[in-house]
Amino acid sequence: MTDRALAVVRAGALTTVQDTGRPGHAHLGVPRSGALDAPAAALVNRLVGNPPGAAVLETTLDGCALRPRSAVTVAVGGAPCPVAVDGRPAPWGAPVHVPAGALLEVGTAVSGVRGYVAVSGGIAVEPVLGSRSTDLLSGLGPPPLRNGAVLPLGRPGVPHARVDVAPQPAPPAELVLRVTLGPRDDWCAPEAVRTFTSRAYRVSPASNRIGLRTDGPALTRARTGELPSEGMVLGAVQVPPDGRPVVFLADHPTTGGYPVIGVVRAADLPAAAQARPGTPVRFVAVRHR
């Protein structure tokens, strides 16, 4: 292996390789996948001079530690956290030079959930159907990082609209998700639709890359029986038998049989990726455009 590689010293709770995902294959049962906080992933790429779709690492709450075999530029963004190179504090949300063999430590998030680590040249694992993303639902792409793993890096290109510092939104203290109702809101009781769009929910600890699960008032059905399986979109809010809404995130199944009461606006999903368990959630109905 060349020295364009990155050794994983501490993989963290769940660190995966992510890019912009593999849309276009839903008819084969392939989830779109990709970074949950896509703007944060695109920004750290810009900070190191990568194209916005280069593969980055997505960490979950407790960061990771990495040792590049050659000198690289890295940037850490998404959930704010301490960053250190060989024990010395380094800036978060800005390009950082890491010498060959030095230890880059991405610490535990002080707020938010998902951190993004871009490395100049990008993570160059073999693409699957045009994407390097780890898909936890179907197992496509590289497995989640393990201690001792070595990841290949691509060659840094010509710096590409590079920025030195950039504002990043703070993780939400309250998550407000705009939803357009349907296509199966008629499967829920009318008072359930009112409950859904007026009462407070909280982010459940059972949330993951497949779905943001919520705790709160259960939504009752107006219709019993099974809905035949139908195609699901990103941001779809499914109502499972327990009545607690689940917002579909990037690794969501491509078809499903529980009614979808509404769909969250795509622009609101990056904040959902950063909402910690317990964060209050409000679903606000907006009209179809």
Partner 1 sequence: MNVLRVGEDALLVEVASGEEAQALHAELLRRRAEGSLRAREIVPAARTVLLDGLADRARALSELSAAEVPPAPPRAGDVVELPVRYDGPDLGEVAAHWGVPEPEVARIHAGTEFRVAFCGFAPGFGYLTGLPARYHVPRRDTPRTAVPAGSVALAGPYTGVYPRSSPGGWRLIGTTDAVLWDHTRVPAALLSPGTRVRFVDRGRS
Enumerate residues 12-41 that contact partner 1 by CB under 8 A. 23-30
Q: Does 182 bind partner 1 (CB under 8 A)?
A: yes
Enumerate residues 207-246 that contact partner 1 by CB under 8 A. 228-236
Q: Does 143 bind partner 1 (CB under 8 A)?
A: no
Q: Nearest approach, Cβ of 251 to partner 1 (angstroms)?
A: 12
Q: Does 176 bind partner 1 (CB under 8 A)?
A: no
Q: What are phi and psi of 201, to 5 degrees?
A: -115, 170
- Measured CA to CA, the distance from residue 259 to residue 219 in angstroms comes to 11
Q: Does 260 bind partner 1 (CB under 8 A)?
A: yes
C-alpha radius of gyration, the chain, whole number: 20
- Please answer whether residues 48 and 73 qualify as being in contact, where contact means their C-beta atoms are separated by less than 8 angstroms: yes
Q: Does 198 bind partner 1 (CB under 8 A)?
A: no
CA dihedral 256→257→260→265, nearest 10 degrees, is 0
Q: Does 180 bind partner 1 (CB under 8 A)?
A: yes
Burial of 221 (0-12, 13-18, 19+ CB in 10 A): middle
Q: Nearest approach, Cβ of 33 to partner 1 (angstroms)?
A: 11
Distance linking the first and last C-alpha atoms of the chain: 51
- Measured CA to CA, the distance from residue 49 to residue 11 in angstroms comes to 24
If the CB atoms of residues 175 and 234 are measured against partner 1, the closer one turns out to be 234
If the CB atoms of residues 81 and 271 are measured against partner 1, the closer one turns out to be 271
Q: Nearest approach, Cβ of 163 to partner 1 (angstroms)?
A: 28
Binding site residues, partner 1, CB under 8 A: 23-30, 128-129, 138-140, 180, 182-183, 228-236, 253-256, 260, 263-266, 288-289
